[in-house]
Each structure stands twice: as C-alpha cells, then as structure tokens.
Structure 1
Amino acid sequence: MSKSLFLDRDGVINVEKDYLHRIQDFEFIDGIFDLCQAAAEAGYLLIIITNQSGIARGYYTEHQFQQLMTWVVAEFSRHQLSITDYFYCPHHPTKGTGHFRVDCNCRKPRPQMLLDAAQKYDLDLSQSIIVGDKLTDIQAGQAAHIGTKALVGTGHAVSHADQLAADVYADTLTELKTRLFPATPEND
C-alpha cells in the first residue's frame, strides 16, 4: 500500500482568496514546493483535496476550476513534483444552486474525498498525512483515520482549540516541513 500527503488547496497551497478561480489571482504560499519535495522523497503521493463551494454558488464553473487545476498541476511539474490527483467537492448544503445544493459526504469535514482517494490509489490512510488550514480539514482527517493531521497557520485564523485538535501545528509551511520530515537534509 502507498501513503499520501493530502493537501488542502486554498490557504495551504495558495494564498486564501475568496472563491479563487483565475490563474492570474493564484499565488503559491512560500514553502509549499519544499514541503512537497520532502514528502515525495519520503515516499508520499501528493493528492489535493479541496472544497469548492464557489461552483455550487455559481461563482465559477467546474470547467473553470478544472482549467485552474490543470495549470496548478503543471506548476508543480515545473518544480519536478508530481501531483497524483486532486479531488474536489462542488457542493454546498444551503448556498448551492440546482444539483449542487446537496448535503453530500464529500464536503469536508466529511471524509469521502479521502476515502475515494484511498480506494483509487490503494492508500494506507493510517500512514498518510493531511495538511489543512481549518478545523474542517482536521475533522475530515480524523473521520478517515488519517495517521497524521497537520494544521498550518497560512490560511484562515487558527484558534488554540483548533491547534489542539491537530497532531501537528506550524505557523508556516517551512516549519511544518521541519516538523513532519525532520530527517530531510536541507539542500544548500
């Protein structure tokens, strides 16, 4: 079985901006490529899991989301990193329109995206890591029995209680890399 570093997108990979869907508005957070390089070197697959209620709300289309994600995957590739896959929830239980207005099992804090990834890639979730910037990411990891739930302070405001819910907390992705992969030598 494989193991994965599951990454939330907004607030972890990129600077949090409400309903981000345009390439020109996308800004990578410092340290994301180094964190992913350390994870890849340690044998982790890189998988993105993201709630995208902007689709449900009609702010952007699934096609626009897919175009942005194609670009994101290509940017990781430019850094010699392979994103194995990404999973997204286009639903919202109350703010969605049409068939996107549904109380689904994929919207974090529910674990369906993690479970779907585990089934598709034969992942050992107990050996995997989830990195998020909100309590809902940690709760999804708990529900899926992810081995390490990591919270990072690069996106939404994080309370002390949220920090305590995580197995690992770091203010930055660089600090998180050091905490998760301490044996990784620095590339000077």
Structure 2
Amino acid sequence: MTVTTAKWSLDDYHRMIEVGLIYGRQVELLNGEIVEMPPEGPEHAQLSTDAADYLRSLLGEKALIRDAKPITIPETNSEPEPDLAIVQPLRQLYRTRHPYPGNVFWVIEYANTSLSKDLDTKRKAYAGAGIKEYWVVDFKNRLVKVFRNPVDGNYAEETTLTSGEIIPIAFEEIKVSVKRLFN
C-alpha cells in the first residue's frame, strides 16, 4: 500500500487560518505540509528576543527585524516562521502580505529541540527560495552555523563559529558579535 501525503497550497493554508481551523496551534507551512513547531522554552524565547533587540541597535532603520513572523515562499507552498527575519523596511507592504524571499536580507533560527529540522528542512526551504543568508544559532552547543550562497536548493557555503564576528552579506558595514547572539 502506498501512502500519499496531502499537500496544501498557500491559499488553502490562509483559508484554514481565516476560518480558525488551526487556531491556537503552533504550526507553519513547509513544502505544502503543515508542520507543528515545538513550544519555545524560556531560554529560546529570551535569546531570540535579545538578539532581535541587538540587531535593531546595529541596523537602525536599514532593516526591519521580524520576530517569529511568517515569510511567504510561493514557489514551494511554504510559510515558515523564522525566529528572526531581517527584511527590507517595507512596513506598509507587510500590512497586505508577508515578506517574500526578495524582501529578506537573512533569517535566523534559534535551535535546541528543532536543530535537525532547522539544519535540513528549513535550510533547504530558505536556500531553494534564494534567501542569500541563513544563520542557525545552536544555543545548546553555543555555536552559530552561517549558510550562504544558495545554489540548486542548498547552500554552497557553511561556516561554524563559536566566537568572533559575522558580517552580513547585505550590510558589510555591520559586525555582529557571535557572543552577543548567546547573551
């Protein structure tokens, strides 16, 4: 017997949200599948909040930092909710739709229990969408994986850092302290 998984479109997913079908559930749409997100523990929640504040202080009005808000990837029927999405500051536009990949400078996921999903499914989703840069902050092991240069649905470059600074591709004048992503 062959098992076939039903795939959902972005329109289907948005209708489910509108009618309250998935109200109160922590889910996101990845490659047409509705995936449950594990609950955020206190450390995860506070680290990502502190990182958002830190990035806002570095970037000012150059970018908008969206905390745990969806980005829409129409090509793959995906609407992930990265912990942090650093996007073009188009506030009026985002009242009518979520940022698309072309609006995204980079995304950051804080990982503990979600590490395997963040390093596999989400990495491929972001690379496939052409998002130029993706960081996974593994706070359990106190390291940051920086993925860059999306090619054929994956990232061609991967760097692992435990200290030092990261210079985002979109903002060469900014230096992000790896340590500050954990403090």
TM bucket, shorter chain:
0.3 to 0.5
TM-score, with length taken from structure 1? 0.36
Structure with the larger RCO, 1 or 2 (CA within 8 Å, 6+ apart): 1
